């Protein structure tokens, strides 16, 4: 099993450009998440999904959109990238919700917006 | 305002000694806590967790202690090994979501 994979690993964008980050998991997990990690701030939840066809906002959703058309995939979109979105993005999935929830993380996507 | 605080950005420990990583939280209603470990260029991996009905949970060299009255938890690693050098994140379950601290960089010197 590959676990959680993310595409691409690195990307450089110019301000105003758009892009989509792809997350895939092969563990048949219901729940998927997108986080961003910035220096000194830990991981912050952007959006999450509790199942195929559902999405919900996390702590820092502005400037991002998501879609979960298939259970195994969770896409994060940036419609008009800004320098403030320079960060490392992590996708995660879990099979349960609440106590005992162990989230499995992908390797991350390092995004730079110039 | 940060709900989960890791006030030590870094910690350096000699191989074989104990590493103690600390975490404070703000809300006494929080009832489930986790520690994640992260190596450079990799995603975080789950390490150990504890429910508020316990004050201690052990898994091999790793032990997490919870002090509910002080709203404080700590992760003890005994004995520390060079392979433990990583960033350690404390996290708390808030409703249906995880809220992470800023992380502590642990360096274990051989």
Residue pLDDT, tens place only, A54-94: 999 999 999 999 999 999 999 999 999 999 999 999 999 98
Mean pLDDT of B81-104: 92
Averaged over B25-33, what is the pLDDT? 92
Is the Cβ of A105 closer than 8 Å to some Cβ of chain B? yes
Q: Does B43 touch chain A (CB under 8 A)?
A: yes
Set of chain A residues whose Cβ sits within 8 Å of the Cβ of B103 = 42
Give pLDDT, residue A101. 66
Structure-token pair, residue B101 = 């601290």
* pLDDT level of residue B81 (50, 70, 90 thresholds): very high
Contact A103 B98 (CB under 8 A): yes
Residues from chain B contacting residue A90 (CB–CB below 8 Å): 43-44
CA distance A104 to A106: 7
Taking an 8 Å cut-off on Cβ atoms, the answer to whether A103 and B4 are in contact is no
**What residue in B sits closest to A105 (Cα-Cα)?**
B43
Please check the confidence at residue A97 and state whether its pLDDT lies above 70: no
**Integer Cα distance of A53 and A67 in angstroms:** 7
State yes or no: pLDDT of A46 exceeds 90: yes
CB-nearest to A42 from B42, B93, B103 is B103
CB-facing half-sphere around the CA of A47: CA atoms within 13 A: 20
CA atoms within 13 A on the CB side of B53: 1
Q: Does residue B70 belong to the interface with chain A, where contact is any CB pair within 8 Å? A: no
Percent pLDDT > 70 in chain A is: 96
Q: Looking at residue A9, what DSSP letter applies?
A: S
Residues of B in contact with A5 (CB under 8 A): none
pLDDT at A98: 58
According to DSSP, the β-strands at B62-67 and B56-59 are: antiparallel
Contact residues for B104 (Cβ-Cβ < 8 A; gap 6+): B6, B8, B9, B10, B11, B21, B22, B87, B88
CB of A90 within 8 Å of any CB in chain B? yes
Whether A111 and A86 have beta carbons less than 8 Å apart is answered as yes
Residue B21, pLDDT > 60, answer yes
Q: Please give the pLDDT value at position A95.
A: 85
pLDDT at A114: 97
Q: How many CA atoms lie within 13 A of A16 on its CB side?
A: 0
Residue B85 has pLDDT above 70, yes or no: yes
A·B CB contacts under 8 A? 55
């Amino acid at each position: 099993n590959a676990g959680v994979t993310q595409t691409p690993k690195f990307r450089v964008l110019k301000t105003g450009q758009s892009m989509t980050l792809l997350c895939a998991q092969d563990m048949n997990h219901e729940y998927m998440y997108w986080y961003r990690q910035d220096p000194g701030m830990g991981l912050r939840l952007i959006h999450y999904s509790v199942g195929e066809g559902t999405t919900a906002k996390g702590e820092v959703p502005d400037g991002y959109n998501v879609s979960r058309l298939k259970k195994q995939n969770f896409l994060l979109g940036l419609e008009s990238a800004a320098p403030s979105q320079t960060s490392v993005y992590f996708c995660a999935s879990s099979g349960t919700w609440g106590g005992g929830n162990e989230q499995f993380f992908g390797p991350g996507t390092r995004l730079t917006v110039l | 305002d940060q709900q989960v605080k890791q006030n030590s950005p870094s910690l350096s420990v000699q191989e074989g000694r104990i590493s103690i990583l600390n975490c404070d939280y703000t809300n006494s209603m929080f009832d489930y806590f986790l520690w994640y470990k992260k190596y450079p260029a990799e995603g975080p991996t789950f390490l150990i967790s504890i429910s508020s009905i316990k004050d201690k949970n052990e898994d091999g060299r790793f032990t997490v202690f919870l002090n509910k009255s002080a709203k404080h938890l700590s992760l003890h690693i005994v004995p520390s090994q060079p392979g433990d050098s990583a960033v350690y994140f404390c996290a708390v379950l808030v409703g249906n979501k995880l809220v992470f601290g800023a992380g502590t960089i642990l360096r274990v010197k051989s």
